[in-house]
Structure 1
Amino acid sequence: MQEAKGVHEMTKMKGRIPGIIISAVLTVVVIAFIILLVWTQMLPTHLLILGSIAIVLIAVAAGLLVRRTAYKVQFTFGTILAVLLTAVLAFAGSYLYMTVNTLNQISSVRTQYTPVGIYVRTDDPAQTIADTQGYHFGILKTLDRENTDNIVSQIEDQLGGTIQTTEYEGLTQMIDALLEEETDAVIMNLAYLDVLSELDKYRDIESRIRELSVLHVETIVEEQPVQTQDENITVNKEVYTIYVSGSDTRQGLNTVGRSDVNIIATVNTETRQILLVTTPRDYFVPLSISNGVPDKLTHAGIYGVNVSMETLEMLYETDIDYYFRLNFTGFTGIVDALGGITVDNEVEFEKGNYYYPVGKVEMDGKKALTFARERYSFIDGDIQRGKNQLKVISAIIDKAMSPDILMNYASIMKSIEDCFEMDVPYNDIAALVRRQLSDNRNWNVVQYSVTGFGDSQIPYSMSDYAYVMQPDYETVNKAKELMKKVRDGEIVVINKLPTEESYVDPYEE
């Protein structure tokens, strides 16, 4: 009798073991997922609590159903429920982790690299820096001097001795000295090649000189101090001002170079307003490092992202909190991973093998890149290009909000790492997500482009006349007024100006 009872208890225990194992695994998965939710800091407290309770209740229900294998229907249903819950949590957890990791990756970069080249004439016999022993080097007297001195030291370390240098007042004087064999080699920032190519006389410069070597200077991007240039502007954590810089550099995202897109985004998270002010790349304004000498705005990027930010702060008399850099060349990977995007085009044009009619245009990565880079097809040139680039960004966000993003999520995240960089702290990003989830209102997004008129001047970074755009300060003042309205929480009224238009909220259903 006792022996039969023992066998019965043993059978009951064996029947509970599968349920215990399933419940244990499910408990670990649930706890890990809830910890992950807390770690992301993206869910509002009430949603975090409600979500956690719901997950726990489902897990408890599954645990109760799998307590004993004797009840086969209940056990089977409970097992299926446990497997489904585990799969969903594992899937969601991996996506959450991937998202947080990507955001941390693109917001953790605090260094920038300045590529500086050593150039000789095309027919020069030297093939390496070692071959320049005894060469005379031309350098710029003041432009980008700190980086030049750093590279001179690197060359001297490689050659094991002091090199001979001659200083030149301007870029064209130095290049002419090389071409006319007054000096054997020159040292200059790689971005100056693009600056030279803007001048008719040097359109073919890359065929007349040869890159011997490229060395890099690494610098830390300093955080912008929390201050206000206008005593009437108060520091408000509900309002963010972000500098969006765009380029198609092939040297790497955190490499300095000309900025072809310069947008100031004023974001009021309380009123759900975003103002995007676009400034043309050729705007002729003093740089923060030029002692009042005007230059093309795009050239500010040669000296680092902080110089671009400070220059725009001077122009608009405002303070910029963070920067967001993007590389349009890297967009091809994102667009293709999304399966293409749909852009609402407003100006018909052709470029290369691509035709862009007015209206909705389906684009793959290469077609979208060509669309974002073109400016010569438009009367408004860079102004229209800035609008088109915003349309591409908007279309990408719109597609990313659709279920299609789940198909190639990993490759999309990798593409984002390759073409985005920012110094917005993760905590601020998480706070914005929490706010959006707590109060899922639509955003009012408005774009305004300042304008100007064409002129020929000698910019700070050049030593010859070049095309520039003289600012129309009426539009600059209008931009300042709009920025202040958004900061102060006023609703921005659309006046249907040629340079001002409303954008569809990418989060709107």
Structure 2
Amino acid sequence: VQYDSIYSLVDALFDHEVTTIAFPENNHEELYEAANDENQYSALNTFANITDEYIYYTDRDASSITPSDPVANIMSDPFTVLISGNDSYGTIDTVSRSDVNMLVTVNPRTAQILMISIPRDTYVTVSCEKNSRACEAVDGSTDKLTHTGIYGVGTTESTIEDFLGVPINYYVRVNFSSLINLVDAVGGVDIDVPEGQEVERFYANGEEGVHAGVNHLDGDRALAFARERHAYVDGDNQRVKNQAMVMKALIRKCMSPSMFINYPKVAKAVSTAIDTNMSARELKSLVTLEIARRPDWNIQNYAIAGESSFEYCATLNTTASASIAVPSMVEYAKSLIADVRAGETIEISPEAITPSVDLTQDQTQTEQDNAYNEPLVTDPYGYGQDYVDPGYDPYQQPAQDYGYTDPNVQYDAWGNLIDPSASPFIGYDEWGNPIYGG
């Protein structure tokens, strides 16, 4: 059966019109671009089973690789790794927004591991020092951190280096599929959820949520937990904390005796789902370090929070919802990294975790996980600086003016303009799209 688009093809699968579909993997990214928290496309891996796949390999473009800044001896010298998480499924070579931005600083001599999480919407100055060819047009401009991933991981890396004033030695790049595959390969992870942070069902993919206490999560639920923000008052600030919890649990699982039992599955998941500029020799040395010394790692994590704001974003060439990092938290993160690299034993101060500012304002607003559909402030028709045009697309033209001064004009719950010139509006479909009747 032929379908006119990838969307109608997937709809047919979920509507049980067909039992099996086949499509090129690059369409998976297209599906995700059209997805939001209300429709089903981002959860295709959850709602369907992959019965067969054919993978074709091509030589990698050497210019796409950001060289590492290696330490002399990775088994003894402190080093910092950028964990960059793309907001895409499928192959890891897809260039996409960087939704997870985490610095992991390791000191092998003192067995210290520090994870610093930075919210995806943090407002930063873009640096193209490590990827000048790709992002020359936005070099030195201001934007959200997540948009730097569009220009390559090197841009994200050099931007964070300038933001925190710390050298980054290596990067590890993952995506949604990477996390699912890795967590499943190690047999799942255990997450200890504090009281008050339980979630009945995840918005991201409809998966069963988490209860207070210890939860054993498979790959799909671990991804949903790491992506969840709508269920929390602190929104994206809580999401980066969840991401750190998943990463810490994954690190501990990889250091447990069960790792040796699951090694073949983990090796396969790593070989196809992770992109890194660490050399094979350095990776082997890290495994040797763990086996030979069995360090008693002190793993600490800290999340920089931010305050909601609307700021100009160079990538979009307009204003968008952003997050202004709390200066005191940025400085504290810098000091923690410096202490670990200097060989100090660290313990995160409880007073530093909760800053003395209100971070809840506007954090719970529903915002698309999609640069093409971000809630953008613009004023194409001259209605004043506070006017928000929900139909504006920075990559196309402003939405048609159906008569914004007409008192009969209405918007649906998702900000879509209900066209008064169309057939009579009769309701919504199950994904919240307006339905017009004859």
- Verify the 8 A CA contact 1:264 1:277 in the aligned structure 2: yes
- Verify the 8 A CA contact 2:332 2:352 in the aligned structure 1: no
- Verify the 8 A CA contact 1:275 1:486 in the aligned structure 2: yes
d(CA) in 1 for partners of 2:148 and 2:233?
Answer: 25
- Verify the 8 A CA contact 2:81 2:172 in the aligned structure 1: yes
Q: TM-score, normalised by structure 2?
A: 0.59
Structure 2 match to 1:484: 338
1:298 to 118, 130, 146: 146
Q: What is the Cα deviation at residue 397 of structure 1?
A: 3.7
Q: Does 1:361 align with 2:361?
A: no
- Verify the 8 A CA contact 1:191 1:302 in the aligned structure 2: no
**Structure with the bigger percentage of helix:** 1
Structure 2 match to 1:24: none
d(CA) in 2 for partners of 1:288 and 1:194?
Answer: 27
Specify whether residues 474 and 196 from structure 1 end up closer, same or farther in structure 2 by C-alpha distance, changes over 3 A only: farther
Specify whether residues 382 and 396 from structure 1 end up closer, same or farther in structure 2 by C-alpha distance, changes over 3 A only: same
Specify whether residues 355 and 318 from structure 1 end up closer, same or farther in structure 2 by C-alpha distance, changes over 3 A only: closer
Structure 2 match to 1:428: 282
Any runs of at least 4 consecutive aligned residues in structure 1 with deviations exceeding 6 A, and if so which?
190-198
Q: What is the Cα deviation at residue 414 of structure 1?
A: 1.6
Structure 1 match to 2:111: 272
Q: Which amino acid aligns with 1:223?
A: P
Q: What is the Cα deviation at residue 364 of structure 1?
A: 2.3
Counterparts of 1:130-145 in structure 2, within 5 Å, are: none
2:250 to 382, 396, 419: 396
Structure 2 match to 1:412: 266
Specify whether residues 367 and 493 from structure 1 end up closer, same or farther in structure 2 by C-alpha distance, changes over 3 A only: closer
Q: What is the Cα deviation at residue 268 of structure 1?
A: 1.3
d(CA) in 2 for partners of 1:438 and 1:409?
Answer: 17
Gaps of 5+ in 2: 1-6, 8-27, 37-58, 129-137, 355-438
Q: What is the Cα deviation at residue 195 of structure 1?
A: 8.9
Counterparts of 1:163-242 in structure 2, within 5 Å, are: 218=61, 219-224=63-68, 238-242=77-81
d(CA) in 1 for partners of 2:325 and 2:288?
Answer: 40
Structure 2 match to 1:171: none
d(CA) in 2 for partners of 1:464 and 1:194?
Answer: 23
User: How many equivalent residue pairs?
Assistant: 290
**1:364-423 CA deviation, whole Å, 9 max, x = no partner?**
222222112212212222222222222223333444445545555433322222322211
Q: Which amino acid aligns with 1:426?
A: A
In percent, how many aligned pairs have the same letter?
33
Structure 1 match to 2:199: 349
Q: Does 1:318 align with 2:166?
A: yes
Gaps of 5+ in 1: 1-121, 123-189, 199-215, 228-234, 501-509
1:281 to 102, 120, 133: 120
Moved more, 481-490 or 385-394: 385-394
1:468 to 305, 322, 340: 322
- Verify the 8 A CA contact 2:123 2:144 in the aligned structure 1: yes
1:252 to 84, 88, 91: 91
Specify whether residues 257 and 353 from structure 1 end up closer, same or farther in structure 2 by C-alpha distance, changes over 3 A only: closer
d(CA) in 2 for partners of 1:342 and 1:284?
Answer: 32
d(CA) in 1 for partners of 2:127 and 2:67?
Answer: 16
d(CA) in 2 for partners of 1:479 and 1:321?
Answer: 17
- Verify the 8 A CA contact 1:331 1:415 in the aligned structure 2: no
Residue aligned with 2:225, SS: helix
Structure number with larger C-alpha Rg: 1
Specify whether residues 382 and 257 from structure 1 end up closer, same or farther in structure 2 by C-alpha distance, changes over 3 A only: same
d(CA) in 2 for partners of 1:329 and 1:439?
Answer: 32
d(CA) in 1 for partners of 2:315 and 2:99?
Answer: 16
- Verify the 8 A CA contact 2:66 2:277 in the aligned structure 1: no
2:188 to 340, 347, 356: 340
Specify whether residues 345 and 329 from structure 1 end up closer, same or farther in structure 2 by C-alpha distance, changes over 3 A only: farther
